Chains A and B, each alone.
Chain A
């Protein structure tokens, strides 16, 4: 994990970084818990016969894709955890932009995720804008993609995050 300076941006656009494998395989228990939490009665997730007919076997709800990468709250021997969207934090630090907000988030769904799958993720910086001034302050917008693949190399989803890192008006530097 390292800060990204302004001179590094061109060479990092489009480069895969922070490739990580999930800590456990996709599992049915979390599918039930998630469906239960939102009272989702879609029979794809509850009725094996429907799942066999419609999706050739059980799948996880597509919007769960990021669930499989949130680290355990505790694990033996762990000293630090990579932050989700590490590139976002690298940019904040490297460009000396102490504040940041995410303006929107898009998820595009590809191959279904199935119980037993092992997913990997990678982060890709897509763009960094010139300096802009908004009502929040002066800074830069950036777009970061997070790609998810299964153990067969199939793309299962891409999340795109648009962030704005900035200094508040009247704030001369990083805190």
Chain B
């Protein structure tokens, strides 16, 4: 990723983000859980996940999925993209051996009352076409070269 960022004026409703596919392993899940300080056994102990949770294996935890969604959005925006909000809905679990695929579409664009340009996205992560989690995200983008959403504070930041 470079430090060149997408500009707000270059985005339109209906634009699609490039898909991101990733082969999930047990390491993906354990590393993600420990990075999030989530010590619960269903994210590292297969016996516990199978016998206590009734799942087929350990599974990706929610905070790490949030980190995946953030990465997916900022891969697209570049570093000047600043997340405003994200809403998650968990529909199913992601296990070792799955290939998860992130997809995203621009659903709205706008400029708020203090001049901050924003883009709304519908994102999903699927396994074999089965949606596991949805994420609605809104991210601020520079409206022109020299504009930096990260400079906004207080009343000038209305996420």
Contacts and interface: CB of A to CB of B under 8 A. Distances in A.
B89 A37 contact: no
A105 B88 contact: yes
Contact of A38 (B39, B67, B82, B157): B67
Contacts of B83: 62-63, 109
A67 B150 contact: no
Contact of A105 (B67, B87, B157): B87
B66 to A, nearest CB: 4
Classify the secondary structure of B's interface with A.
mixed
B24 to A, nearest CB: 11
Contacts of A110: 157, 159
Interface string A40-83: 11111001001001111000011110110010010000000000
A33 B34 contact: yes
Contact of B86 (A36, A40, A64, A106): A106
A34 B36 contact: yes
B69 A63 contact: yes
* Size category of the binding interface on chain B: 35 or more
Contacts of A174: none
A34 B69 contact: no
A104 B88 contact: yes
B157 A112 contact: no
A27 B150 CA distance: 20
Given A33-B34, A42-B1, A111 B153 contact: yes
Contacts of A104: 87-89
A109 B37 contact: no
Contacts of B75: 40-42
B150 A112 contact: yes
B105 interface: no
Contacts of B14: none
Nearest to B149: A54
A54 B70 contact: no
Contact of B85 (A30, A41, A47, A109): A109
Contacts of B89: 103-104
Given A67-B63, A70-B39, 8 more contacts: A39-B22, A40-B74, A42-B79, A63-B67, A105-B87, A105-B88, A106-B87, A109-B83
20 contacts: A33-B35, A34-B67, A35-B71, A37-B28, A40-B70, A41-B1, A42-B74, A43-B2, A53-B3, A62-B70, A63-B67, A64-B67, A67-B36, A70-B37, A70-B39, A107-B87, A108-B85, A109-B83, A109-B84, A112-B150
